[in-house]
Chain A
Amino acid sequence: MSVYKHEYRAYTGPLTPLWARVGVIVRYAFAEAWSTRITATLFTLSVAPVIVYLVGIYLANNQLARTLIMRGSPMLTIDAGYFLKVLETQSWLALVLAAWIAPRLVSFDLADNALPILLSHPISRFGYVLGKLLALFACLSLVTWIPCLLLFAFQGYSSAQPWVMANLRIAGGVLASSLLWIAFLSILGLALSSWVKWRVVATGIIFAVVFVPAGIGGIITGILRTKWGFLLNAPVMMTQLWQRILGAPPTMQGDLYLPSTAIVTVLLLVCAACVLMLNARIRAREVVRG
Chain B
Amino acid sequence: MNVIELDGLQVQLGGRVVLDGLTGELRGKAVGLLGPNGAGKSTLINTLLGFHMPTRGSAKVFGRDTRSERALIRQSVGYMPENDSFIGNMTGVRFVRYMAELAGLPAAEALERAHEALFYVGLGEVRYRKISTYSLGMKQLIKLAQALAHGPRLLILDEPTNGLDPMARQRMIQTLQEIRKEGSIHLLISSHLLRDIDQTCDEVLILKDGRVAALCNIEEERRSHRNFIELEAVGPTEKFCETLRGIGCECASFAGGRIKLVMPDRIESRDLYVVASQTGLQIRRIHRRRDSLEDIFMRAMEAEPARGELVRL
Which of A's residues lie within 8 Å of B, judged by CB?
1-3, 6-16, 18, 21, 24-25, 28, 32, 108-109, 111-124, 283-285, 287-290
A99 shortest CB reach to chain B, Å? 19
Residue of A with least CB distance to B182:
A8
Asked whether B228 is an interface residue with its Cβ less than 8 Å from the other chain, the reply is no
Residue of B with least CB distance to A112:
B88
Contacts of B143 in A (CB 8 A): 117
Asked whether B197 is an interface residue with its Cβ less than 8 Å from the other chain, the reply is no
Contacts of B16 in A (CB 8 A): 290
In the complex, are the beta carbons of B119 and A120 less than 8 A apart? no
A6-B119, A18-B104, A116-B83 given. 14 additional CB < 8 A pairs?
A: A1-B117, A1-B119, A10-B184, A10-B185, A13-B105, A21-B101, A28-B98, A114-B86, A122-B72, A122-B104, A284-B46, A285-B46, A285-B52, A289-B15
Asked whether B124 is an interface residue with its Cβ less than 8 Å from the other chain, the reply is yes
Contacts known (A18-B71, A108-B87, A117-B146); A285 close to B51, Cβ less than 8 A: yes
Proximity bits, B132-158, A CB within 8 Å = 1, else 0: 100000000001001010110000000
Contacts of B71 in A (CB 8 A): 18, 122, 124
Nearest 7 A/B pairs, CB to CB = A11-B151, A1-B116, A15-B104, A289-B14, A120-B79, A121-B102, A122-B71
Which of B's residues lie within 8 Å of A, judged by CB?
13-16, 46, 49, 51-52, 70-72, 74-75, 77, 79, 81, 83-89, 98-99, 101-106, 109, 113, 115-117, 119-120, 124, 131-132, 143, 146, 148, 150-151, 178-179, 182, 184-185
Contacts of A21 in B (CB 8 A): 101-102, 104
B185 shortest CB reach to chain A, Å? 7
In the complex, are the beta carbons of A11 and B85 less than 8 A apart? no
Residue of A with least CB distance to B49:
A120
Contacts known (A284-B51, A288-B14, A289-B14); A1 close to B101, Cβ less than 8 A: no
Contacts of A119 in B (CB 8 A): 51
Contacts of A283 in B (CB 8 A): 51
In the complex, are the beta carbons of B105 and A1 less than 8 A apart? no
Contacts of A25 in B (CB 8 A): 102
In the complex, are the beta carbons of B81 and A116 less than 8 A apart? yes
In the complex, are the beta carbons of A108 and B104 less than 8 A apart? no
> Cα distance A290–B12 when bound, in Å?
12
> Cα distance A12–B13 when bound, in Å?
38
B140 shortest CB reach to chain A, Å? 13
> Cα distance A25–B131 when bound, in Å?
19
> Cα distance A6–B119 when bound, in Å?
7
Contacts of A12 in B (CB 8 A): 151
A276 shortest CB reach to chain B, Å? 19
9 A-B pairs within 8 Å (CB atoms) are namely A1-B116, A7-B120, A15-B104, A111-B88, A113-B83, A114-B86, A122-B72, A122-B74, A289-B15
> Cα distance A18–B148 when bound, in Å?
19
> Cα distance A275–B293 when bound, in Å?
48
From A25, A114, A284, residue with most partner B Cβ within 10 Å = A114
> Cα distance A139–B305 when bound, in Å?
56
In the complex, are the beta carbons of A3 and B116 less than 8 A apart? yes
Contacts of A284 in B (CB 8 A): 46, 49, 51
Contacts of B101 in A (CB 8 A): 16, 21, 24
In the complex, are the beta carbons of B120 and A108 less than 8 A apart? no
Residue of A with least CB distance to B116:
A1
In the complex, are the beta carbons of B99 and A11 less than 8 A apart? no
In the complex, are the beta carbons of B99 and A117 less than 8 A apart? yes
B221 shortest CB reach to chain A, Å? 29
In the complex, are the beta carbons of A122 and B51 less than 8 A apart? no
In the complex, are the beta carbons of A117 and B74 less than 8 A apart? no
In the complex, are the beta carbons of B120 and A8 less than 8 A apart? yes
Contacts known (A117-B143, A284-B51); A6 close to B120, Cβ less than 8 A: yes
Residue of A with least CB distance to B73:
A122
In the complex, are the beta carbons of B88 and A287 less than 8 A apart? no
B90 shortest CB reach to chain A, Å? 8
Contacts of B51 in A (CB 8 A): 116, 119-120, 283-285
Contacts known (A14-B106, A16-B104, A122-B102); A116 close to B85, Cβ less than 8 A: yes
Contacts of A6 in B (CB 8 A): 119-120
Residue of B with least CB distance to A115:
B85
> Cα distance A285–B48 when bound, in Å?
13
In the complex, are the beta carbons of B86 and A112 less than 8 A apart? yes
Contacts of B98 in A (CB 8 A): 24, 28
Residue of A with least CB distance to B181:
A8
In the complex, are the beta carbons of A122 and B75 less than 8 A apart? yes
Contacts known (A10-B184, A18-B71, A108-B87); A121 close to B151, Cβ less than 8 A: no
B173 shortest CB reach to chain A, Å? 15
Contacts of A121 in B (CB 8 A): 74, 99, 102-103
Contacts known (A13-B106, A284-B51); A8 close to B178, Cβ less than 8 A: yes
In the complex, are the beta carbons of B105 and A109 less than 8 A apart? no
From A3, A120, A284, residue with most partner B Cβ within 10 Å = A120
> Cα distance A287–B18 when bound, in Å?
12
> Cα distance A266–B143 when bound, in Å?
43
> Cα distance A8–B16 when bound, in Å?
41
Contacts of A112 in B (CB 8 A): 84-88, 131-132
A150 shortest CB reach to chain B, Å? 31
A127 shortest CB reach to chain B, Å? 9
